[in-house]
Structure 1
Amino acid sequence: MRIVMATQNRNKVREFAEILGGRVELVPLPSGLPKAPETGETFLENARQKALFYAAYVEDPVLADDSGLVVPALGGEPGVHSARYAGEGADDGANNDKLVHALRSRGLRQAEAWFACALVLARKDRVMLEVESRVDGFVYDEPRGEHGFGYDPLFSPQGALRRFAEMSAAEKHQFSHRARAVRELLARIPEMT
């Protein structure tokens, strides 16, 4: 099965391709398409919007994800705004800096948090599958590690002593919200046939 990934984020496409391990042919979104709306209040609403939006442009099924970090001590921030927490076009460093500042301004060195991932597979104007997953853990006010992307230098999953950014890709996939969601999606793909 060939699936178009609804993102232009190369790190995300690479991570999904690694998790899928060749079981599905994953191709990036064609260039030149308009940006899909992300006006939902939940990760699942945003993933659904993106999947249906891009499914109108391509023949193959479209896999869209919306994922992010939720820190209850910060009122749920960054939440659905994880990718643009420090503003539209902000990079990972700016988003991490804002999160560290938010923690420290509340006197926190660490806080409970979770990474959430919603996946929606759509074709034309129909949603084929939806799955959601999360991994619980902690965020810290000091980054560690050189791997990964996003908030990986600040997040340590429950049951692990290291941050995602200190883990190899294979180690991270044992814990990650995306890996869990992809495994659930793969288990449910036979429902579509």
Structure 2
Amino acid sequence: MRIVMATQNPNKVREFSELLGSRVELVPLPSGLPKAPETGETFLENARQKALFYATYVEDPVLADDSGLVVPALGGEPGVYSARYAGEGADDRANNDKLIRALRSRGLRQAEAWFACALVLARKERVMMEVEARVDGLVHDAPRGERGFGYDPLFSPQGEARRFAEMSAEEKHRFSHRARAVRKLLARLPAPGAGGWV
């Protein structure tokens, strides 16, 4: 089963390929496509926008993910703006630095937080599947670890002292919001040869 991931981010394609396993051949978006709108107020709304937008450009089903970090003590920031928290085009380091400053400005060394993931699978003009998942934990005011991407150096899942960036990919997949969402998605995908992709 071939699915187009609604991103050209190689880290994201690699992570989802690992999670989806051999049932799915995951490929990135073709280059040169316009940027999909992301004007939703929730992760699910944004994922739906992206999936339907790119499904008009490609033949295969499109899987769109919208994920992010929610910190209630910061009013829910960075939330749906997680990827551009420090501004359009900001890199992971800039986003992490802004989050650290926000925590420290409130006198916080750590705070309760969760990572959320919404996945939407669409083909042509139709949404075929939607799933959501989250992982609770703590966000910290200093990074640790060299692995992962995004806010992984700042986040430790519930019951773990280590940050996501200190874990191997296999260890992170035991906890992560994306892994939980993908498990829900895989449970609903049609079995090979079963059809259902008209």
Q: TM-score, normalised on structure 2?
A: 0.96
TM-superposed CA distance for 1:190, in Å, is 2.5
Count residues with an aligned counterpart: 193
Give the deviation of 1:102 after TM superposition: 0.1
Q: Unpaired segments of 5 or more residues in structure 2?
A: none
Encode CA deviations 1:1-57: one digit per residue, 9 max, x unaligned: 100000111110010011112220101100000000000000000000000000000
Alignment-derived partner of residue 24 in structure 1: 24
Quick one: which amino acid aligns to residue 151 of structure 1? Y
The percent identity for this pair of structures is 87
**Residue type of the alignment partner of 2:6:** A
Which residue does the alignment assign to 1:34? Answer: 34
Question: How far apart are the structure 2 equivalents of 1:8 and 1:131?
Answer: 21
Moved more, 19-28 or 93-102: 19-28
Instruction: Give the equivalent residue in structure 2 for 1:5.
Output: 5
Displaced runs of 4+ in structure 1, greater than 4 A? none
- Does the residue aligned with 1:112 lie in a helix, a strand or coil? strand
SS at match of 1:86: coil
Q: Counterpart of 2:113?
A: 113
Q: Distance in 2 between matches of 1:151 and 1:50?
A: 22
Q: How much is the aligned-residue C-alpha RMSD, in angstroms?
A: 1.0
* Residues 99-146 of structure 1 deviation map (CA, whole Å, 9 limit, x = unaligned): 000000000000000000000000000000000000000000000000
- The correspondence of residues 101-140 of structure 1 with structure 2, limited to 5 A, is 101-140=101-140
Separation in 2, partners of 1:150, 1:2: 27
CA distance in 1 between counterparts of 2:22 and 2:97 reads 36
Secondary structure (helix, strand or coil) at the match of 1:113 reads strand
Match for residue 99 of structure 1?
99
Give 1:50-129 correspondences, 5 Å limit.
50-129=50-129
Secondary structure of the corresponding residue to residue 190 of structure 1? coil
